[in-house]
A = this chain, B = another copy of it.
Amino acid sequence: MAEVVEISDPGDPRLADYRDLRDVELRKHLEAEHGLFLAEGAKVVRRAVEAGHDARSFLMAPRWLDGLADVLERSDGPCFVLSEEMIEQVTGFHVHRGALASLRRQQLPPVDDVLAGARSVLVLEDIVDHTNVGAIFRSGAALGFDAVLLAPRCADPLYRRSIKVGMGAVFSTPWTRLPDWYDALPELSRRGFTTVALTLSEDSVPIEEAVAGVGRLALVLGSEGHGLSPRWEASADRRAIIPMAAGIDSLNVAAATAVACYAAARR
């Protein structure tokens, strides 16, 4: 059971995991080096722990203790309790639902485990924005996708912002990193998936047509800026577009993913 530790000094070194949460670069280094990630908000903290992630510690204002009592009960790490003002001093911003947890990263599962039994899989190449990664996990989970695979350079789904935007879908959806970028899509084809890349290519067909009759589907999404790499675009089994009004920039990747998942769910 988590020991409740009241803290009155925002400089207390035991709060190191929670410093300067808005400094993305600092956080990336700190979290990688210490093998941790942060969950923000009472609901997300609960989901992280219920999904089996070990808490190194919790940090919260007193009023969140009761609602999370059962979560603290089953955890070993200490629960640091501070006023909301002090939490803001430590983290560098106002934590809207004043509970945080620092959790241990687990080793990512092998691709085989993630794909076992999956019928619909999202494959993200180089999505760079944590908000988009979170939104994609959330849409995929809501619209019936079973798993997510990430190219080596895709942004971290366990980054605080990804988790928050995804409403914790990253805890309920099996996911892992692809060990190999170059042959990732042919490898999925060999495993029996039809890889459908969302991309503005000359031979792209409307998404509904591209997924029609497909059994095991891998829906492939590229980066926000320049889209898919030429290698991934060319090595996908099919290329698909979402039909759009003339003269309009493409949908953003999160919106496009939601639409494509919706179309795929109805195949």
A262 touches B242 (CB 8 A): yes
Q: Is the CB of A255 within 8 A of B139?
A: yes
Q: A144 — which chain B residues lie within 8 A by C-beta? A: 244-245
For the complex, would chain A's binding face be called helix, strand, loop or mixed by DSSP majority?
Answer: helix
Question: A258: which of B165, B243, B248, B251 is its contact (CB, 8 Å)?
Answer: B251
Q: Are A135 and B252 in contact (CB under 8 A)?
A: yes
Contacts of A262 in B (CB 8 A): 242, 259, 262-263
A8 within 8 Å of B (CB atoms): no
Interface 1/0s, chain A 232-267, versus B by CB < 8 A?
Answer: 000000000011110011111011111100110100
Look across to chain B and name the residue whose beta carbon is closest to the beta carbon of A146.
B245
Find chain B residues with CB under 8 A from A256 CB. Answer: 258
> Are A245 and B138 in contact, with the CB atoms below 8 A?
no
Chain A residues at the B interface, C-beta cutoff of 8 Å: 131, 135, 138-139, 141-144, 165, 167, 169, 242-245, 248-252, 254-259, 262-263, 265
A-B contact pairs, 28 of them (CB 8 A): A131-B131, A135-B254, A139-B255, A141-B248, A142-B244, A142-B245, A142-B248, A142-B249, A142-B250, A142-B251, A142-B255, A143-B245, A143-B251, A143-B259, A144-B244, A165-B252, A169-B248, A242-B262, A243-B265, A251-B258, A254-B254, A255-B255, A255-B258, A256-B258, A258-B258, A259-B259, A259-B262, A262-B263
